[in-house]
Amino acid sequence: MTSPRVEIDLGKIQANARCLVRRLGDRGISVTGVTKAVCGHPDVAEAMLDGGVVGLADARIANLFRMRTAGINYPISMIRAPLLSEMKDVIQHCDASYNTEIDTILKLGAAAKKLGTSHNLILMIETGDMREGILQENLNNFVTRVIATPGVALKGIAANFACMGNVVPTGRDMAMLSRLATQVKGACGPLVELVSGGGSANLPWALGEGSTGRVNNLRLGEAILLGTDPVTGQPITGLHTDAFTLFAEVIETRVKPSARPHASIAPELGMLKLVQSDAYRTRIILAVGQQDTDASGLTFPPGIAFIGATSDHTVIGTSNSTMSVGSEMKMGMNYGALTRAMSAPDVAKIVHCKKMMRGSSRNRESHSVLTLV
């Protein structure tokens, strides 16, 4: 079989989505499935939809086109602020977009008017992650300008956590987001229908015992795809952690002496060089590298140690290897490794359990992106 490749178990993705949708639904929170890590793979998107998510979200127009071309008619949100160069595409193919800049919103409104429609906006609020977001003290004035802009409609606010600043969301953060939703209504009039509290890092809070307030949506990617908590990297109880598996072929296996210590010509390469290891004497080279995945984010079978990687080689070590040239190594991936592998053109993607899906989303009616289940 083609190597390297990612094998995808759609049944496990569907099961993860269904479990999270049920558990969060009991708390009054809907789930939007985030597909950016799989480059908008239509089969994965459909597995999420079959699991009960109310819509999808992605950060790239190319991924969105891929899903629309495959016939997915469910709502899709542009989760990254739209580029000024893609206004028409966003209006035509996205049910909503997340925004933080008034100039972008003005362009979206103008494009929507030209196309004879209106575009839904969700405003991202800065809550400490230090990535994108409107400052809280500026929110009321910002909303006032938004609701005065023809061609757009304010439908929600959102927050982001643990993506760049590694800020773990707390009950206080979520209560603040609820207050902001109420504040917007009191100051500006429009009802904030969607209050999206963040992503997979919010699950410990969302599934806890405290009040969820006005937060009624989470945007989940890693939890559905990998069954892990992005903050700790630990498995989430009740979820599958092996829906995606990377396979790579062995191209060399040989007992070698420990690497001789020497000064590094390029210290900044760090982990990408071979390092001295007395415990693992058999060196195995896999035909997969940094061009294909994030090698440092791979999980190997017991008794295997990661030694280093270059653009197209990954070197591992073991003290008791039975692997031969031409055999394959099976590896797990973290979110970064998965994202790079799914976007790599030379890594094949093999889908399993497609027949288990209840029926393609191609034939479903479109639903409002804000519908709660």
67 CB burial (10 A radius; 0-12, 13-18, 19+): buried
Picking from 16, 26, 32, the residue whose alpha carbon sits closest to that of residue 367 is: 32
Note if the pTM is more than 0.85. yes
Q: Residue 359: phi, psi to the nearest 5?
A: 140, 140
Using CA atoms, how far apart are residues 293 and 341, in angstroms rounded to an integer? 5
Q: Strand pairing of 298-299 and 217-220?
A: unpaired
Q: Residue 224: phi, psi to the nearest 5?
A: -75, -45
| Interhelix angle 171-188/139-147, nearest 10 degrees | 50
* Per-residue confidence in pLDDT tens, the chain, 373 aa: 799 999 999 999 999 999 999 999 999 999 999 999 999 999 999 999 999 999 999 999 999 999 999 999 999 999 999 999 999 999 999 999 999 999 999 999 999 999 999 999 999 999 877 788 999 999 999 999 999 999 999 999 999 887 776 778 889 999 999 999 999 988 888 889 999 999 999 999 999 999 999 999 999 999 999 999 998 899 999 999 999 999 999 999 998 876 655 555 555 555 555 545 555 689 999 999 999 999 999 999 999 999 999 999 999 999 877 789 999 999 999 999 999 999 999 999 999 988 666 554 444 433 332 222 2
Cβ 68 vs Cβ 75: under 8 Å: no
Picking from 38, 59, 39, 42, the residue whose alpha carbon sits closest to that of residue 50 is: 42
Domains and CATH numbers, the chain: 9-235+356-363 (3.20.20.10), 244-352 (2.40.30)
Query: What letter does residue 238 receive in the DSSP assignment?
Result: T
Structure-block tokens of residue 213: 């307030």
Q: Residue 267: phi, psi to the nearest 5?
A: -55, -30
Cβ 196 vs Cβ 32: under 8 Å: yes
Using CA atoms, how far apart are residues 68 and 40, in angstroms rounded to an integer? 10
Cβ atoms within 10 Å, residue 87: 21
Using CA atoms, how far apart are residues 173 and 158, in angstroms rounded to an integer? 12
Tell me the CA distances in angstroms from 121 to 84, 113, 149, one per residue in order: 15, 15, 11
Structure-block tokens of residue 370: 């804000």
Look up residue 8 and give its amino acid.
I
Query: What letter does residue 290 receive in the DSSP assignment?
Result: T
Q: Is 11 helix (H, G, I), strand (E, B) or coil?
A: helix
